[in-house]
Amino acid sequence: MSLNSSSIPQADVASRPPLLRLDAIGKTFGTHVVLEDIDLSLAAGEVVAIIGPSGSGKSTLLRCINQLEPPTTGRVTIGDTTIEAGHTPTRRELMALRRNIGMVFQSFNLFPHLTVLRNVSLAQERVMGRTREQADAVSMQLLARVGLADKAQQFPSRCSGGQQQRIAIARALALDPQIMLFDEPTSALDPELGLEVLAVMRELAEGGMTMIVVTHEMRFAENVSDRVIIMADGRIVEQGPSGTVMRNPQTERAQRFLHAVKDR
Amino acid sequence: MTQDMLLTMVSGVPWTIALTAVALLIGVVLGIPLCAMRMSKLVVLRMVANTLILTLRAIPPIVWLFFIFFGLDTGFVSLNPFQAAAIGLGLITAANMAEIYRGAMSAIHSGQSEASMALGLSTYHRFFDVLGPQLFRVALPSAASYAIGLLKDSAIASTIGVHEIAFQASHVSQRTFRGLDVYAVAGLLYILLSLPIAWASRWADLHLRARVAR
Ligand SMILES: Nc1ncnc2c1ncn2[C@@H]1O[C@H](COP(=O)(O)OP(=O)(O)OP(=O)(O)O)[C@@H](O)[C@H]1O
Ligand SMILES: [Mg+2]
């Protein structure tokens, strides 16, 4: 596997209709402005890395996309579901949105009282209406795909951090999402365990999954993603093809950030 | 101590168990909506729940039982002593359970709720499939020690004439003019009843506690 292969050629990506669109997303907590005027559109199969200093609003942006945090202004569109800030979305709209968006957290957030298999099967049964047999069959396939079929009957506490994160990825994939959001999926892991998670993510990207990855892994941003977005102070300060942005940033703010993290 | 006296005292055991069990059941169930109200986003609901919880916990149980048995009885409803005691102790237990649940809730990592929502689980499934089972496990030790306390508190039901252990003990001691051994036996019965609760709770705690996310 070549480290420099981008999953999909850039021209190909740009010509497709967007799968996800953010228009003028803003978020304030009280008087604290955390996101300001974020526009973003994502084509099917595109892999976008979001990098930026701590507190720049990366996590908040991801959480606004699936409405874990309702944006203060703007609009999120995925497929034919549009959620407008200020209007409380109906339960049906929220379900449609969240079914189509898988999310992987820094702290895994597996359900500790359920076996690995039940972790992956639960939402398939409750949200998609699959029977237990159907769900378990799908879960076993996904667990095999992340290399953990043998852990199916264990409880999460018996798995390493890297294994838990791969299970969390399988759990999110189980709903057949169109888009996967990753919020620093390897930050809580030892470098070695992080690698096994990154390998799974790279495979997903190569398989054509549309992904937004908030990460501190500069090599992943440069080598796996098609596009890199640099955020600072709640805004997008620079974005473009990963090679260009990472090696040749144009704005002063982006240069400063990349200089600060270049050794990672 | 004659066999007859002993039998009379033991006849109180089923009443003590029944009263404790019914009050606990009422409390465990009613504690859920009370806790939900207490943690609601609506100020009105929160205030109602706070007032209820404070009132139920601040007034001594014996006053509640008198209030329910003698107070309500003069009006339209007619309650037998057991019903009055079960309702009184049940409501007090509900207030305490609501607080135990609330404490347990804060012990569960917020990521559990977020992961459930991100997976599209409804509020119902989020509670019953994800948070509820973990809450149960976290709340179990406090709930068990509350249950042992309730078992002992059920003795105050003797004051309104429920034929439980303390009632029988005072009955026997008045009839026979013996206090020491009669009340020692009563104490022993309470100990015997609380042991299984403590054991079950310790066992469950050991086996379940690891499976909660904090
Ligand atoms: N629930 C909240 N209430 C108030 N402020 C919040 C909340 N969540 C986030 N913030 C603030 O929003 C800002 C952006 O936070 P966010 O977590 O999105 O940053 P980040 O880019 O993900 O940082 P990191 O790299 O450290 O994860 C921070 O200043 C944070 O304190
Ligand atoms: Mg973050």
Digitized pLDDT (tens) for each residue of chain B, 214 residues in all:
788 888 998 999 999 999 999 999 999 999 999 999 999 889 999 999 999 999 999 999 999 999 999 888 676 778 899 999 999 999 999 999 999 999 999 888 889 999 999 999 998 999 999 999 999 888 998 999 999 999 999 999 999 989 999 999 998 999 888 888 889 999 999 999 999 999 988 888 887 766 666 5
According to DSSP, the β-strands at A32-43 and A18-29 are antiparallel
**Where residue A3 falls among pLDDT bands split at 50, 70, 90?**
very low
Total domain count, chain B: 1
Work out the minimum CA distance from B126 to partner chain A, whole angstroms: 10
Contact B125 A126 (CB under 8 A): yes
**Closest residue, chain A, to B136 (C-alpha):** A113
> What ranges do the domains of chain A cover?
10-262
Q: Cα dist. A77→A6, A81, A196, B65 in Å? A: 26, 6, 32, 59
In sequence order, which ranges of chain A are alpha helices (DSSP H)? 10-14, 58-65, 91-100, 116-128, 132-145, 161-173, 191-206, 218-223, 242-247, 252-261
Using alpha carbons only, give the angle A109, A115, A121 rounded to the nearest 5 degrees.
80
Q: Cα dist. A177→A37, A154, B167 in Å? A: 26, 25, 64
Give the global pTM.
Answer: 0.85
The crossing angle, in degrees rounded to 10, of helices B43-58 and B13-38 is 150
Contact B111 A107 (CB under 8 A): yes
Q: Cα dist. B58→A137, A231, B53 in Å? A: 54, 53, 8
Residue indicated by tokens 């409380």:
A88
Protein residue with its CA nearest to atom 9 in ligand 1: A60
Ion ligand 2: residues, CB < 5 A: A 59
Domain interval for residue B91: 3-211
Nearest by CB: A175 against B112, B120, B133: B120
- Check: CB of residue A212 under 8 Å from CB of residue A181: yes
Q: Is B118 on the interface with A (CB under 8 A)?
A: yes
Work out the minimum CA distance from A216 to partner chain B, whole angstroms: 21
Among the listed residues A135, A74, A57, A128, the one whose alpha carbon sits nearest the alpha carbon of residue A98: A128
Q: Is B137 on the interface with A (CB under 8 A)?
A: yes
Whether residue A56 has its Cβ less than 6 Å from ligand 1: yes
The model's pLDDT over A92-116, given as tens digits with 9 standing for 90+, comes to 889 889 999 999 999 999 999 999 9
Residue B44 phi/psi, 5° resolution? -60, -50
**Closest residue, chain B, to A176 (C-alpha):** B119
Contact B111 A171 (CB under 8 A): no
* A10-262 is a CATH 3.40.50.300 domain: yes
CATH number at residue B151: 1.10.3720.10
Eight-class DSSP state of A88: P
Q: Is B210 on the interface with A (CB under 8 A)?
A: yes
Q: Is B78 on the interface with A (CB under 8 A)?
A: no
- Global ipTM: 0.90
